[in-house]
Structures are given as C-alpha cells and as structure tokens.
Amino acid sequence: MGMKIHWAWVVLASSFVTLFVNYSIRIGAYSLLLPKMIEDLQINLTQAGLIRGVYFFAYILFSPLMGWLTDRIGGRWVISFFCLFLGTGTFLMGRASNLHTAILYHGIMGIGAAAIWTPTITLIQKWFGTTRRGMALGILSPSYAMGFGLMGLILPLIIEYESWRMGWFFLGISGWGLVALNGLFLKNSPEEVGLHPWGDAGKTVLPHSPQKVNFRSWDLLRMPSFWLIGISYFFISIAAYMISDFIVVYGVMELKVNHAAASALITMMALSGIVGGMVLMWLSDSIGRKKVLIMIHSLVAVSILWILLAREDLYFLRIGMGGFGFLYGAIWPMYGALTRDFFPEEVAGVAFGMMTIFYGIGAMVNPILAGIIVDLTGSFRWAFGAGILTSLAAGLAAIFLKNPLEQAGH
C-alpha cells in the first residue's frame, strides 16, 4: 500500500496556488502596471494612490465579515465564492478608461481579496498542529513572493508586446480559476473528514490558552495584546507597502531607469522573500514570534534606509531590495501565527479578521500619503523616510507584548 498523503498538505497546496495568484494581482499587477496606467489614464500619483486606497477600503470593510463567515460556514466556501469578485474586478481593470472606473474595479478586487488572506491563514492553522503552524506558514510564505516575483518577469513582456490592459486580463482569468481549485480541494477542518491536524495525531484537544472557555468575539477588545498587535500591524503595513507598491514607479520616474530594470527590483525582492519567509517563520517556532517580529521591524527600517542611500546605483539598490524582500516574506504570515498564538481557536477567524482592519487602514493610508508627499515634494525620499519611521513604530509596539502564557495568567 502506498503512502497516504494527509489532506492538510492538499489544503496547503491549494492555498499556496491561491495566494500565488492573489499576490500576483495585489502587488505584482499594481506595482508593475502602475507607471503605464498613470501615463495612459493621465492621472497623478495622488490619484493613483486613491485607486489603491479604495481597494484597501473595501478590503477593510469586508475582512471582519470574511473572518466571521469563515468561523460560521468554513473557509472553503468563503474563499471559493469570493474568488469570483477577485477575478472579475481584476479583469475589469483592463477595461478601465478613467480614474473613476479604475477606482470602482479596484474596489471590487478588494472585496475578493478580503476573502483570501484571513480565511486561508485561519484554515491552514486548523489543519496543522500547534508546533507545526510556523512551519506550515513558512512553506506557504513563498507563494506570494513567487507570485509578484514572477510578474516582474512576465508583465514587462506583456506590456512590451501587448499593453498594460492585457496584463490585467491575464490575471483576471487566473483569478476565476481559483473558484474551481478551492471548491474542489479545500476542506473546512480535519474533523470534517475524520482526521486530526497534521502534527497533532492522536490528540483530541489542541493545547491552547485557558482563555478558550466561554470566550466571546468582543472580549478581544478588552485585551491589550489585541491592540498592540493591531497597532504594530498598522504601522508595518504602511512601511512594507511604501516600498512594494512604489519601488517600480520610483525607479522609472525618479531614478530614470528603464521599466524592465525597475521591474527586476520586484523580482529580486520576491526571490529573497521566498527564502526569508521560510527561514524566519521556522525560526519563530524555535525562539518565539515576538523576538523575530521585533528583529524584522528593526531590519526593515535599515533596508529602507539602504534603498534610499543607494539612489540610482542599481547594484546597491538590488542588495537593499534583497534584504527588504527577505524580511517582507515573513511579515504577513508572522502576524497570522501571532494572532493564532494569542487568541482562542473558536474566535481565530474573527480575531484575524478584526486584526486585518489595522493592516487594511495602514495599507489604505500608505498609497494616498505617498502620492500626496511625492506630488508635493517631487521626490520619494520623504515618503520612504516615513516608511522607516513606521517600521520602527511597529517594532516598538511589539516590544510591549506579553507572551500568551503571561497574558493568560495576569
């Protein structure tokens, strides 16, 4: 008899592909297609930031709902259904004719994207045991890095031989494909198919915080750790997207390098992110999420400073983007694992959905803030400087976190 694969790995593989496509759209498409969209639609950077801001406004608005739905009906149905919105909004972006239609279509994308990250992270952590979550999320983390990294190679070719619109069409069709993929291969929980989480075989009760008993969703708001994690999440989303959203525009508009060379910076960021995501998530299983998170935030500030000082020296700029990407690869799954460590299983989806509001506000503020700063000053220098400060602020908030056992006992 051949070796039977635990269904956790099937769920992980399906989730890997889903995040790959989602981040190809979220980061790859916007970052890489934006210079041509600005030119074609005749908009400025503040207006371009508004398009992105509406995406994250929709993301914020719908994330708590997605977390609640995931806890009630399961991640399988939530992810599968809302991938329709992701694919449709992305495809329609290729038909945007002005600022208003671009805002509308990007907002539809944001609704779909809200059903990807929170439900996927919640689902994965149900399928893997307590001591295996960092490993599982570490394996998952290259998915989004590979997504926008590959787009750094593919989309410049599509732009050169077709147009930026064709890039959106291509990714929109990919988004529709996720509906069938997740509908077929995701399962809501191990118990649904008579299994234990992988790594917890034979255990009937998952070890967790004593707070699990009679814990209600609104109890989260009375926990200092909820606000500290949320504030940290808010600040790092500003810092991280300041670079990932605008590094290509920065290269093309300010450094005057060609589009292909600027796009390669995204690929460099992604390649190092594949390694960094796995290494740092596995490290967090050993020495703790808090220590690794503080280290990441401190070094993100250093890497942004390096990028600023490198200016048009592409060699040093690539090194800076490599360092930034190594850290970036672990940021988002780290918050997923951190949330699951601190809050009980029965409210995990709601907790991460509510936590995502902080992330979404930061991601929404970032492009508008960056656009205004750059339009006023004519340079990305001050916008990237804001990224350094917000990264340090994110690390400072994390310093005050107590570990889950200390929290349970206070």
Question: DSSP string of 212-234?
Answer: GTT--GGGGGG-HHHHHHHHHHH
Encode pLDDT of 1-39 as tens digits.
Answer: 445 788 889 999 999 999 999 989 988 888 899 989 999
- Which residues lie below 8 Å from residue 8, measured CB to CB, with a gap of 6+? 127, 128, 136, 190, 195, 197, 198
Which pLDDT value is given to residue 50?
Answer: 94
Q: CA–CA separation, 307 vs 54, rounded Å?
A: 28
Which pLDDT value is given to residue 204?
Answer: 44
Which pLDDT value is given to residue 366?
Answer: 92
Q: Using a cut of 0.85, tell me whether the model's pTM lies above it.
A: no
Q: What confidence category does residue 48 fall into, taking pLDDT thresholds of 50, 70 and 90?
A: very high
Residue showing tokens 């992988």: 198
Helix axes 164-185, 30-41, angle to 10 degrees: 140
Q: What is the dihedral of CA 295, 146, 55, 65, to 10 degrees?
A: -80
Q: CA–CA separation, 243 vs 338, rounded Å?
A: 24
Which pLDDT value is given to residue 410?
Answer: 40
Domains and CATH numbers, the chain: 16-187+221-409 (1.20.1250.20)
Q: What confidence category does residue 408 fall into, taking pLDDT thresholds of 50, 70 and 90?
A: very low
Encode pLDDT of 76-100 as tens digits.
Answer: 999 999 999 999 999 999 999 999 9
Q: CA–CA separation, 262 vs 379, rounded Å?
A: 16
Alpha-helical (H) ranges within 186-313 are 224-249, 259-287, 289-310
Which pLDDT value is given to residue 214?
Answer: 57
**Of the candidate ranges 69-73, 101-105, 387-391, the one whose mean pLDDT is the lowest:** 69-73
Q: CA–CA separation, 380 vs 254, rounded Å?
A: 8
Q: Specify burial of residue 204 (Cβ count, 10 A radius: 0-12, 13-18, 19+).
A: exposed
Residue 211 has pLDDT above 80, yes or no: no
Which pLDDT value is given to residue 210?
Answer: 39
Q: What is the CA 120 to chain-centroid distance, rounded?
A: 11
Give the whole-number percent of the chain exceeding pLDDT 70.
91
Q: Do 114 and 59 contact (CB within 8 A), yes or no?
A: yes
H/E stretch holding 25 reads none
Give the residue-averaged pLDDT of 34-45.
92
Residue 336 has pLDDT above 90, yes or no: no
Give the residue-averaged pLDDT of 363-384.
92
Which pLDDT value is given to residue 201?
Answer: 56
Q: What confidence category does residue 75 fall into, taking pLDDT thresholds of 50, 70 and 90?
A: confident
Q: CA–CA separation, 126 vs 206, rounded Å?
A: 10
Encode pLDDT of 162-209 as tens digits.
Answer: 999 999 999 999 999 999 999 999 988 888 878 888 876 555 444 444
Q: What is the CA 130 to chain-centroid distance, rounded?
A: 22
Residue 312 has pLDDT above 90, yes or no: no
Q: Residue 305 corresponds to which amino acid?
A: L
The DSSP 8-state label assigned to residue 5 in this structure reads P
Give the whole-number percent of the chain exceeding pLDDT 90.
51
Q: Please state, in angstroms and as integers, the Cα–Cα distance from residue 402 to each residue in 126, 210, 226, following that order.
A: 24, 15, 11
Q: Do 111 and 85 contact (CB within 8 A), yes or no?
A: yes
The structure tokens listed for 407 are: 């929290």
Encode pLDDT of 259-310 as tens digits.
Answer: 889 989 988 998 898 888 888 988 888 888 889 999 999 999 999 999 999 9
Which pLDDT value is given to residue 1?
Answer: 40
Q: Do 350 and 65 contact (CB within 8 A), yes or no?
A: no
Average pLDDT, the chain: 86
DSSP letter for each residue of 28-42: IIHHHHHHHHHHHHT
Encode pLDDT of 128-150 as tens digits.
Answer: 877 777 778 778 877 877 888 88
Q: What confidence category does residue 390 fall into, taking pLDDT thresholds of 50, 70 and 90?
A: very high
Which pLDDT value is given to residue 406?
Answer: 47
